[in-house]
Amino acid sequence: MSQLTIYPVISAKDSPPLPLLHTTDPAFIAQELAQRGLEFQQWPARAELDPIAAPEQILTAYSAEIARVQEAGLYPTVDAVSVGPDHPKRKELRQQFLAEHIHAEDEVRFFVEGQGLFCLHVGPEVLQLLCEQNDWIRVPAGTRHWFDMGERPQFTAIRFFNNPEGWVAEFTGDAIAELYPLLER
């Protein structure tokens, strides 16, 4: 079940953060994120994928959804990423994504399986959005954020880019990500 938890920004000397809001209502999640310039939708993840499906198979299975997003011409580059509990680089990837960063382009993801935790540092708040199968999110360029896939990751996501290089991050050097809860599992 998708979840949104909003915390105040805290500093290292503060106690653990207490949530300002917590909801599992998809319409309310979309509304709260939209008020902050983010976009959240739920689409049906209808394709049955083999647990070891290659990226090309994932992209083929979701070609209609990809075409719908690409119609606007904003995201000409697309790929698929799957990370499971046996992925040989899961620990490295988790650490890389856990550092707060920004992108020069929107970060757009459609979760077709599993889950991941987007943590968004927006003004005086940190929004933690647990994305699960069927969730589509657009994080605008320049939004400070980090992502947690958990110690035993299990997700498949389709990623949309307006940059042919794909995922390019600029790390902020801020240790804020260390102050907030991580994905439990």
pLDDT tens across the length of the chain (185 residues) = 999 999 999 988 788 889 999 999 999 999 999 999 999 999 988 888 887 789 999 999 999 999 999 998 889 999 999 999 998 999 998 988 999 999 999 999 999 999 999 999 999 999 999 999 999 999 999 999 999 999 999 999 999 988 776 677 899 999 999 999 999 76
Query: Whole domain around residue 74: which residue ranges?
Result: 3-45+53-177
3-state secondary structure of 122: strand
DSSP 111: E
Determine, yes or no, domain membership for 185: no
Determine, yes or no, domain membership for 183: no
Determine, yes or no, domain membership for 30: yes
The tally of domains found in the chain comes to 1
CA separation (Å) from 50 to 135, 153, 156? 20, 17, 11
Determine, yes or no, domain membership for 182: no
pTM of the model: 0.93
Determine, yes or no, domain membership for 135: yes
3-state secondary structure of 158: strand
Residue whose C-alpha is closest to residue 65's, from 38, 41, 45, 39 = 45
